[in-house]
Amino acid sequence: MGYRIGVDVGGTFTDLLLARDGAPPRAAKTPSTPADSSEGFLTGLAELAAGEGRMLDAFLADVEVIVHGTTVTTNAVLTGEVARVGLLTTRGFRDALAMRRGIREAQYDNRYTAPPPLVERWLRLPVTERVDATGAVLTPLDPADLDAALDTLRGAGVEAVAICFMHAWANAAHEQAAEARARAALPAAYLSRSSALLPWRARPRRRRCCPARPPRRRRRSRTWRPTAPAISSPWTWAARRSTCAWSRTARRP
């Protein structure tokens, strides 16, 4: 019999669901173990195996697939209980993380304050280097500049280092060199390199949404005339709808 298992590791409980051919699914719930999430996960698997009347090893031998999900990362971000992270980025783009591409959840709220970035500004360190979108090196990586940044991060006691250089997907040489020096300077820190996580270019949404060939432009009715200038406000749609209704009424004999 083939088993299929779904696991959701939460901050308080770990939920498991066992699917079997020819039998209804069965659920199990165990307390989560924040210090080591695998302990609660294995406890839940042992509980599922006991429910099948089998030893854990024999039960796992018949498992076809395990689908795993977790909210541990989301909970850590929401509560702020995250590791101290340092960021190495291309000089001139230190504040790109805080700018968030200009995204504002409350678009018309001038008093809106964005949530703080995961990496504080004093731990976002620029490094002299630059690669263009074709992968050509515009500015070579400055080893002395990189070592100075790593010394700062080591003195700050960072637990993880993220390396994100411009256009590293096109040429990862600078990021790879920075990763090697960071691993030597901070052997206990967790390292994350953007070109390893996403080694290809992610197309902008605009290009994905726009059709390859523009649609034909519809002929505008000769009897229609705009009766009001364009309004740039949240009420644009309501204003246009009212204007069109007024125009239709005005054209009636």
Spell out the residues 6+ positions from residue 121 whose beta carbon is closer than 8 angstroms to its own: 94, 95, 98
* pTM to 2 decimal places: 0.63
**pLDDT given at position 229:** 46
Centre a 10 Å sphere on the Cβ of residue 208 and count the other Cβ atoms it contains: 8
Confidence of residue 97 (pLDDT cuts 50, 70, 90): confident
Structural domain that includes position 189: 83-197
- 165 and 122 in a single domain? The answer is yes
Rounded to the nearest angstrom, the gap between the alpha carbon of residue 161 and the centroid of all alpha carbons in its chain is: 17
Spell out the residues 6+ positions from residue 227 whose beta carbon is closer than 8 angstroms to its own: 243, 246, 247, 250
- 93 and 72 in a single domain? The answer is no
Minimal CA–CA distance to 101: which of 88, 92, 114? 114
| Rounded Cα gap, residues 230 and 240, in angstroms | 8
- 189 and 102 in a single domain? The answer is yes
- 193 and 95 in a single domain? The answer is yes
Residue 228 inside a domain? The answer is: no
Contact 168, 131 (CB under 8 A): yes
Q: What is the pLDDT of residues 9-64, one digit of tens each?
A: 998 899 999 998 888 999 999 999 988 888 999 999 999 999 999 999 999 999 99
**pLDDT given at position 1:** 63
| Rounded Cα gap, residues 192 and 175, in angstroms | 10
230 vs 122 pLDDT, higher one: 122
| Rounded Cα gap, residues 21 and 99, in angstroms | 50
pLDDT, the chain, mean = 81
CATH of the domain at 18: 3.30.420.40
* DSSP state for residue 210 in the 8-state scheme: S
**pLDDT given at position 209:** 38
The residue among 197, 221, 244 that closes a domain is 197
Minimal CA–CA distance to 224: which of 244, 196, 195? 244
Helices (H), 4-132: 37-51, 56-61, 72-79, 96-99
SS3 207: helix
Burial of 42 (0-12, 13-18, 19+ CB in 10 A): middle
The residue among 146, 179, 197 that closes a domain is 197
Question: Two tokens at 189?
Answer: 């820190």
Residue 126 inside a domain? The answer is: yes
Q: What is the pLDDT of residues 155-188, one digit of tens each?
A: 999 999 999 999 999 999 999 999 999 999 999 9
Question: Two tokens at 198?
Answer: 């996403």
